[in-house]
């Protein structure tokens, strides 16, 4: 982690009139990572992405992409980034292919290279058949795929995905996730904003939780989950007569009191989640001669993290229309 | 170049290193083609600059025309076309505003701004594609004019000068439309506001009727309206009836010069203003 971050921010401040969108936003994304910005509507996610993508000037603080300052070296930044916003930013009246060729040429590819790259992207995103149709005939999922393709035309090293699956059906969402994983495997640095906890959990190696225009927690999804309440160990016994022995065997791993249920067959105990915990518990129970039917560890979800950190639940069901920038 | 990541793009495929002027021209060309492609795919988008002038010409020539008396008893059909040219051109301004507002609201402009392309190519390309639309509108007016009996009584250089003046004026006026697009939020608002500005601009002028028939307080407004200057200049250069020649107001005495002044004035004011508004709007 000693290398220069691919995306970095120090004390970013940005206001829209009286609205404080960013209030001292810090971030460091290592190269080649999928990094999630998680937060409710209005938390400042989109504003942060717009600053990194050189679309907004920060009122204070500094932001760098691949070591280039977004305010003073915007040209260098733009050569190396791709941006996919909340809305598919495409020309409705052009064909899918014409859109990609246009973006390619505007990304400074030669006309020949732009055409080759466009065909390559159409193939990759399963749009070859629709390539000669106007974009306005495309479904929502196809538009997002074309939009993603457009943001990749110029061979970006850093890709910004602003709520890439908002408004998509589960099928299209799963497809987008596959694409993101594929890009990550190729080594592209991805910064992804999402309101969906599940999405951050599925895709991101590291997550920053955003609230009120700044980062309130940062880490891997597992670290974040471990930071709130750890996990729960549930043991289901084969015979009630083993209850005492089971409690003694589990005790060393518990971080609170052991609670048997009324029938004396199920034990539930808070534990600190750690690697190989299940194995250790099973082994301890075996040594004590306890026969068990089931041992499970329930990790805290990012939902729990969110609630614990912000005091309010994530607004997953909020409207998807509003942008943070408003 | 960057110590952090090797640039991923194959070097033979990129045009980095060429001069900014070459990049600017390329970007304007690519974006102009984009706007024109839409016209090719959906020619009905041209309805407001083709069908509408035809309707106006026919209505004024055959419905109102009989009731409009020209000082000096010229042919109203010949009088009308000089005014219709200006109207056909001014009519494209709401369209350019609408197109830009649409690009803003759909995120297309954001995408362009995240690319390593020339900043102002978006606006310049839009003004060029609008010029193409205006050429088409001009051709329509000329053809319909010829069909209803409008004739030119001068020579080719004068006619070319008249059409060139009209297109110069139209191009400058486009930048007013660009500014309008930069100040409005929705395509619908652009359409309506454009219409509200455009309607009095064309009607309180000598485009359709001689200003001599207007109330005294309105006459100076109409005489200094750039649309009147353009109409008078075209009529003068076409050798058509031009009652404005007897009006002492400076633009009516020197209509060609007045049109050039208006066009240059609009370009000097609206083009930098458009760029300023684009910058401000784009950077939030």
| pLDDT tens digit sequence for A123-167 | 999 999 999 999 999 998 899 899 999 999 999 999 999 998 888
pLDDT band at B4 (very low <50, low <70, confident <90, very high): very low
For B158-184, what is the mean pLDDT? 93
* A89 touching B (Cβ < 8 Å): yes
For domain A7-225, give the CATH number: 3.40.50.300
Q: What's the ipTM?
A: 0.85
The predicted pLDDT at position A326 comes to 37
For A169-190, what is the mean pLDDT? 90
Torsion angle defined by CA atoms of residues B195, B201, B205 and B206, in that order, rounded to the nearest 10 degrees? -50
pLDDT band at B7 (very low <50, low <70, confident <90, very high): low
Listing DSSP states for B24-69 in one string gives HHHHHHHHHHHHHHHHHH-GGGGHHHHHHHHHHHHHIIIIIGGG-P
Task: Please state, rounded to an integer, the average pLDDT across all residues of chain B.
Answer: 89
Listed by number, the residues of chain A in 122-151 with a beta carbon closer than 8 Å to a beta carbon of chain B are: 134, 150-151
Q: Report the C-alpha gap between A142 and A138 in whole angstroms.
A: 6
Q: Please name the residue of chain A whose CA is at the shortest distance from the CA of residue B14.
A: A109
pLDDT digits (tens, 9 = 90+) for B19-58: 889 999 999 999 999 999 888 888 888 887 888 889 999 9
CA distance B253 to chain A (A): 46
The domain made up of A230-299 has a fold known as Alpha-Beta Plaits (3.30.70)
Mutate to test the interface with B, among A16, A22, A106, A189 (most CBs of B within 10 A): A106
Listed by number, the residues of chain A in 53-72 with a beta carbon closer than 8 Å to a beta carbon of chain B are: 53-57, 66-68
Q: Report the C-alpha gap between A50 and B217 in whole angstroms.
A: 53
pLDDT band at B284 (very low <50, low <70, confident <90, very high): low
The predicted pLDDT at position A319 comes to 39
Q: Where are the domains of chain B?
A: 46-120+133-282
Q: Report the C-alpha gap between A48 and A51 in whole angstroms.
A: 5
For B129-147, what is the mean pLDDT? 94
Q: Where are the domains of chain A?
A: 7-225, 230-299
pLDDT band at A40 (very low <50, low <70, confident <90, very high): confident
Percentage above 70 pLDDT, chain A: 93
Q: DSSP assignment, residue B140?
A: H
Listing DSSP states for B196-228 in one string gives HHHHHHHHSSTTTS-GGGS-TTTHHHHHHSHHH
The predicted pLDDT at position A324 comes to 42
The predicted pLDDT at position B129 comes to 93
pLDDT digits (tens, 9 = 90+) for A203-244: 999 999 998 899 998 999 888 877 766 677 888 888 888 888
Q: Report the C-alpha gap between B185 and B202 in whole angstroms.
A: 25
The better pLDDT of the pair B274, A198 is held by: B274
CA nearest neighbour of B283 among A51, A48, A90: A51
User: Which residues, other chains included, contact A188 with Cβ-Cβ below 8 Å and sequence gap of 6+?
Assistant: A32, A156, A157, A158, A159
pLDDT band at A318 (very low <50, low <70, confident <90, very high): very low
Percentage above 70 pLDDT, chain B: 96
The better pLDDT of the pair B206, A40 is held by: B206
The predicted pLDDT at position B3 comes to 34
pLDDT digits (tens, 9 = 90+) for A47-99: 999 999 999 999 999 999 999 999 999 999 999 999 998 777 899 999 999 99
B279 has a pLDDT exceeding 80:
yes
B124 has a pLDDT exceeding 90:
yes
CA nearest neighbour of A80 among B116, B147, B102: B116
Give how far Cα B257 sits from Cα of A228, A272, B162, Å.
Answer: 77, 86, 12
CA distance B282 to chain A (A): 7
Listing DSSP states for A180-220 in one string gives HHHHHHTT-EEEEEES-HHHHHHH-SEEEEEETTEEEEEE-
The better pLDDT of the pair A17, A74 is held by: A74
Lowest mean pLDDT, pick from A222-231, B106-115, B130-139, B228-237? A222-231
Is residue B73 classed as helix, strand or coil in its secondary structure? Answer: coil
The predicted pLDDT at position A316 comes to 44
pLDDT band at A7 (very low <50, low <70, confident <90, very high): very high
Cβ-defined contact of A150 to B110 (cutoff 8 Å): no
pLDDT band at A2 (very low <50, low <70, confident <90, very high): low
Listed by number, the residues of chain A in 305-324 with a beta carbon closer than 8 Å to a beta carbon of chain B are: none
Q: Report the C-alpha gap between A246 and A243 in whole angstroms.
A: 5
Residues composing chain A: 326
For B152-170, what is the mean pLDDT? 95
For B177-187, what is the mean pLDDT? 89
pLDDT band at B260 (very low <50, low <70, confident <90, very high): very high
Cβ-defined contact of A53 to B114 (cutoff 8 Å): yes
Cβ-defined contact of B110 to A55 (cutoff 8 Å): yes
For B8-17, what is the mean pLDDT? 79
The better pLDDT of the pair B91, B160 is held by: B160
Task: Please state, rounded to an integer, the average pLDDT across all residues of chain A.
Answer: 86
The predicted pLDDT at position A134 comes to 94
Q: Helices in chain B by DSSP H: which ranges?
A: 20-41, 47-59, 76-90, 93-105, 108-113, 121-147, 156-183, 187-203, 219-224, 226-238, 250-253, 255-282
The predicted pLDDT at position A86 comes to 77
């Amino acid at each position: 982690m000693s290398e220069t971050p691919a995306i970095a921010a120090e004390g970013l401040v940005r206001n829209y009139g009286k609205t404080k969108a960013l209030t001292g936003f810090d971030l460091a994304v290592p190269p080649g990572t999928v990094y999630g910005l998680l937060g409710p509507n209005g938390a400042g996610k989109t504003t942060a992405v717009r600053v990194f993508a050189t679309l907004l000037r920060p009122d204070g603080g500094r932001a760098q992409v691949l070591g280039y300052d977004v305010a003073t070296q915007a040209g260098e930044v733009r050569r190396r980034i791709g941006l996919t916003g909340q809305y598919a930013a495409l020309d409705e009246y052009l064909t899918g292919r014409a859109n990609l060729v246009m973006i390619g040429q505007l990304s400074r590819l030669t006309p020949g290279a732009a055409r080759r790259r466009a065909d390559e992207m159409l193939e990759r995103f399963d749009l070859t058949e629709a390539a000669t149709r106007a974009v306005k005939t495309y479904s929502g999922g196809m538009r997002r795929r074309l939009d993603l393709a457009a943001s990749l035309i110029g061979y970006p090293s850093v890709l910004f995905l602003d709520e890439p699956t908002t408004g998509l059906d589960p099928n299209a969402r799963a497809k987008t996730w596959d694409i993101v994983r594929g890009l990550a495997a190729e080594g592209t640095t991805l910064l992804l904003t999402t309101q969906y906890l599940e999405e951050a959990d599925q895709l991101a190696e590291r997550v920053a939780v955003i609230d009120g225009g700044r980062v309130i927690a940062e880490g891997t999804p597992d670290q974040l989950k471990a930071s709130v309440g750890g996990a729960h160990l549930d043991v289901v016994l084969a015979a009630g007569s083993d209850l005492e022995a089971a409690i003694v065997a589990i005790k060393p791993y518990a971080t609170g009191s052991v609670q048997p249920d009324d029938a004396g067959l199920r034990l539930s105990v808070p534990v600190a989640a750690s690697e190989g915990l299940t194995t250790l518990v099973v082994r301890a129970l075996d040594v004590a001669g306890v026969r068990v039917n089931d041992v499970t560890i329930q990790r805290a979800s990012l939902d729990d993290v969110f609630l614990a950190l912000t005091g309010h639940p994530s607004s997953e069901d909020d409207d998807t229309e509003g942008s943070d920038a408003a | 170049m960057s110590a952090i990541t090797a640039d991923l793009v194959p070097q033979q495929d990129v045009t980095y290193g060429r001069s900014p002027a070459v990049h600017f021209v390329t970007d304007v060309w690519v974006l102009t083609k984009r706007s024109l492609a839409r016209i090719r795919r959906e020619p009905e988008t041209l309805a407001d600059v083709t069908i509408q002038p035809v309707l106006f010409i026919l209505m004024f020539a055959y419905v109102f025309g009989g009731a409009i008396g020209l000082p000096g008893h010229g042919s109203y059909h010949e009088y009308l076309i000089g005014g219709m040219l200006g109207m056909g051109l001014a009519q494209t301004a709401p369209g350019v505003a609408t197109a830009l507002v649409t690009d803003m609201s759909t995120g297309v402009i954001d995408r362009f701004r995240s690319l390593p392309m020339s900043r102002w190519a978006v606006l310049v390309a839009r003004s060029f594609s609008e010029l193409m639309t205006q050429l088409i509108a001009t051709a329509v007016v000329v053809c319909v004019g010829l069909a209803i009996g409008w004739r030119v009584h001068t020579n080719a250089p004068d006619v070319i000068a008249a059409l060139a003046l009209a297109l110069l004026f139209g191009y400058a006026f486009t930048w007013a439309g660009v500014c309008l697009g930069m100040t409005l939020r929705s395509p619908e608002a652009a359409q309506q506001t454009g219409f509200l500005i455009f309607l009095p601009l064309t009607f309180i002028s000598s485009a359709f009727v001689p200003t001599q028939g207007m109330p005294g307080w309105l006459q100076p407004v109409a005489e200094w309206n750039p649309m009147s200057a353009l109409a008078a200049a075209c009529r003068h250069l076409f050798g058509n009836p031009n009652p404005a020649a007897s009006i002492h107001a400076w633009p009516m005495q020197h209509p060609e010069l007045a049109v050039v002044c208006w066009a240059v004035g609009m370009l000097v004011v609206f083009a930098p203003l458009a760029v300023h508004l684009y910058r401000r709007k784009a950077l939030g």
